[in-house]
Structure 1
């Protein structure tokens, strides 16, 4: 069995994190694909804590980006006057160690202007950030004295804009670490978990491409782990870093027995097939939940995109009950069905789910790996 086909089973995330550090001894980059709810954020924290918990020479060596990074910022929305809105920085974090001295505004803006059209100012006296945006003046006329543009100060940016701003701060700090700045000389590893959860596909591609160029520039100075549930982001990173000889894994829960790592170095789209394997497994069991319809529709949509179809129902074209299956997928796949609050289907819907899945598999004849055995 080749290394790409091997499965590696681990009892807990600490052991998975140890494996990732071992991979970085031989590779500059490790890519990790995992579904939401697998434990990616906890894995990133386990990874950074390994060096801190050593009995001999404990050190902090990992600069990380995850949900905790976003929590280093919080809003004061000025509920009383609704005018002086600003973002507050948790200055006690080591993440901001070189902020005041290095004056990072220009570096941050060099990244930010690629994705947004707002600007910002950092006040280092009270560690706050205010945002502003230039807009077209609706009163402007060429013959009038009104300015063509006006500035909106102290604006509340959207959650997506806030996330991309925080991401650009992280990129600026990464650049300092890569360039060997003394304030971030402690960085030996960078761990990035899902930086693009609020971005559309166009920005996801742009973020992945820009990130890859920055990281490749610093591959001799830092080793990097990137984990994500976003298939497009994963595949762009895979292709951008292909020339570096990176290591790539699919991470999945192994029931109640821990976790499975499956190397995907030769098959960057493997996670779609792995998802089908999971659906086939639940189809053969009595534990089919409502959110599995969401997952099945997602697979059909990705398959239809691959084949250039204009509708996911074309993936089951010509099978018996085609119209029924299409209507069922439209009605029973809803965003409200969450993996965090699983609800078991009734028997009629379980039967319908099995029939749709089997029709799809019979039509396309996927070779499903036994990754959950």
Structure 2
């Protein structure tokens, strides 16, 4: 019988961060990949990782991160008076943009952006704004998904300059990337994961990288793309939404996260404490089950369970609504 990987327990974010950083310093790994479903605390973990670097380096950061906070560095100016010249404003005070004027990022951004969408952009460095266009339509407001993918492409372009040792980013020793594909379909999720892995392979001799995600397909692609590198892969779990975290290595065994999801759903059903992420988990499990059996839709897994169409519709609504 194959020995099961040991589950390591951590009572706090600080202890968990110390373990991840030790995987780089003592373990000699280039990449640490974390799978964790929503609600585990991935975003908070990325910020604690950054804070640990600042503490260690007397207030000087060592981590360039991409997470939910990255999107907050951008804000729309919708030109409410004239309603014509909508622009996307950059927070010029952030160190994230410390060398952007000198980097000439447009070509690199466009090389990524063109793979995922069809709008164009123009950066006004004097006013720290970005305007978007499609065809003859100028100063348009792009969708939330397009907005997110633009921020991601900008981040990737900055990462290229970091890897090339641009002096504006010589402080960066780590990338921490958390869930970059929340608004993408599966095809773009695969493309983003593949592009990211290609970039990270170039970074391995200079930058250490943590990638965390709740998206199973994205995580699998990154794992497969980096399988020949010094990579540590974990399932990150927070039992009962408590203060303790667990790490279980997935290097030699199939992913454990589906078992954890089923356990979490069982507890939720028994307690009656249901939240949107529980329905996301259930839908994810049903979709993968349907795919395994060659079915077209997850509703095939509901055959014989009361009104199949009603349950399918309810699961769709509860996975996306604010309940």
- TM-score above 0.5: yes
Selected match of 2:195 from 178, 194, 210: 210
> Residue 110 in 1 paired to residue 96 in 2?
no
**2:231 is the counterpart of 1:246:** yes
Match runs of 1:1-373 below 5 Å: 5-25=5-25, 26-54=28-56, 57-134=58-135, 151-255=136-240, 256-267=242-253, 269-283=255-269, 285-287=270-272, 289=274, 291=276, 292=278, 295-312=281-298, 314-315=300-301, 322-324=304-306, 326=308, 329-330=311-312, 332-336=314-318
Distance 1:324 1:155, change over 3 A: same
| Structure 1 unmatched ranges of 5 or more | 135-150, 342-373
The offset of 1:269, in angstroms, is 3.5
Q: Give the TM-score normalised by structure 2.
A: 0.90
Measured in 1, the distance between the counterparts of 2:237 and 2:82 equals 48
Aligned residues: 319
Give the SS at the match of 1:79: coil
Taking only aligned residues, the RMSD between alpha carbons, in angstroms, comes to 2.4
1:235-275 Cα distance to aligned partner (Å, 9 max, x none): 11111111113111111112334211111122453312221
Q: Please, which runs of 5 or more residues in structure 2 have no aligned partner?
A: none
Per-residue deviation, 1:300: 2.0
Normalising by structure 1, we get a TM-score of 0.79
Displacement, 1:57?
4.3
Structure 1 residues 129 and 293 mapped into 2: Cα distance closer, same or farther (>3 Å)? closer
Contact 1:31 1:238 survives alignment (8 Å): yes
Pick closer, same or farther for the CA change 1:155–1:331 going to 2, 3 Å: closer
Q: Residue 146 of structure 1 corresponds to which residue in structure 2? A: none
Contact 2:302-2:311 at 8 Å conserved across structures? no
Q: Answer yes or no: is the 8 Å Cα contact 2:67–2:177 preserved in 1.
A: yes
